[in-house]
Homo-oligomer: A and B are copies of this chain.
Amino acid sequence: MTDHRIAILGGDGIGPEVVAEGCKVLDHLEQLENFTTERVEYDLGGRRYRETGEVLDDATLEELRGFDAIYLGAVGTPDVPPGVIERGLLLKLRFAFDQYVNHRPVRLYPGVSSPVAGLTPERCDFVVVRENTEGVYAGAGGRLYAGTAQEVATQESVNTRHGVERVLRFAFEQARSRRGHLTLVHKTNVLVHAGALWMETFEHLGDTEYDDVTRDYVHVDAACLYFVTQPERFDVVVTENLFGDIITDLGAAVQGGMGLAASGNLDPTRRAPSMFEPVHGSAPDIAGTGRADPVAAVMSLGQMLAFLGEDAAAARIDTAVGVLLGERGGSSGSAYSTAEVGDRLVELVAR
């Protein structure tokens, strides 16, 4: 009997390359910390879609449901129309498995150079808790008189008390386990309906169950400004799906780039597998060159191991990544080959 069953979805472009390094690190962690995993690879993504016309069939989806976690590289190829793979695979999994939390740390590691002048690690260490199953991502909307001068196209953001409350609860718990400060990011002055639901639920939960957590509210536009000018304002940020998408890319930039941004799509109830993936895309331009930076994929592996209860293994990754980034001395991943970085992380986790 293995401890954890993990589905490996390398995906497209650099996805399989960075996931391979993660798996190499995982091999060693299993030895070091005495646990076992069963890993099953699935060939999904743009390439597969082109060959078979199928993105993710129901049978595969149900198979994936049986795993404890999914480790995903990146999906999307330039020759497939935008959105097909993203919606047919990535978003489909998030929704089907009710992974209602997208958990994205924004942390500047010592030695990493941020594009923000003078930013120090002490001033940049927060977590974004992004709602992951509602909002405009629900896909509601349509086109009337498409392609004509009379066209009207709508997109509807759908928000439920159920969905908002559970992600807020997760965020309050996160804040409690960190520095005790939670910031809601929304646009309540314009999105009056959805904003009121978010704000009222935020206030109510805070007052009744989490009055030890200090609360703050920031409009999404101001949040973008503060991410750059005052990231130290934030401990845990909670926000709706689309705003979370936008501000975490900015967060990735601030902390030193997409190559260092990890994410977990979590179902905290553990009824279905959670999914861990670097925030970066499939980067077709550098695929096959051996220059992709696997650090975000390894960080995502660390998130996965923590979620699976392998805290000691997760801590080893965290330390190893910190040392590696310090060694690199601010130079980006591309100065090293993908395999070199993986090999060095293997050495470092063993320390």
Contact = CB atoms under 8 A, between A and B. Distances in A.
Interface of A: 82-83, 86-87, 91, 113-118, 136-137, 139-143, 145-162, 165, 187-197, 200, 220-222, 224-225, 228-229, 242, 245-250, 252-254, 257-258
A172 B246 CA distance: 25
Contacts of A162: 149
For A114, A147, A190, A222, which residue has the most chain B Cβ atoms within 10 angstroms?
A190
B82 A188 contact: yes
A149 B139 CA distance: 23
Interface of A is mostly: mixed
A242 B258 CA distance: 24
B228 A246 contact: no
Question: How many copies of this chain does one complex carry?
Answer: 2
Contact of A161 (B151, B245, B248, B253): B151
A115 B123 CA distance: 14
A305 to B, nearest CB: 27
Given A114-B117, A116-B115, A253-B229, A246 B258 contact: no
A193 B142 contact: yes
B86 A189 contact: yes
B242 A222 contact: no
For A154, A158, A248, which residue has the most chain B Cβ atoms within 10 angstroms?
A154
Nearest to A147: B200
A92 to B, nearest CB: 13
Contact of A137 (B161, B188, B190, B194): B190
Cβ-closest 5 pairs across A and B: A221-B249, A151-B161, A83-B189, A153-B197, A117-B117
Nearest to A138: B154
A209 B161 CA distance: 47
Contact of A136 (B140, B143, B188, B190): B190
Given A246-B221, A249-B224, A254-B228, A153 B82 contact: no
A159 B150 CA distance: 11
A261 to B, nearest CB: 10
Contact of A253 (B136, B150, B159, B225): B225
A160 B156 CA distance: 15
Given A161-B148, A200-B147, A220-B246, A155 B191 contact: yes
A194 B257 CA distance: 29
A225 B197 contact: no
A248 to B, nearest CB: 8
A154 B153 contact: no
Given A91-B190, A156-B156, 10 more contacts: A115-B117, A115-B228, A141-B191, A154-B156, A155-B157, A155-B193, A155-B194, A190-B242, A225-B249, A246-B246
A222 B139 CA distance: 21
B194 A153 contact: yes
Given A87-B190, A116-B117, A258 B225 contact: yes
Contacts of A143: 193, 196-197
A143 B248 CA distance: 28
Nearest to A117: B117
Contacts of A145: 161
Contacts of A146: 196-197
A169 to B, nearest CB: 13
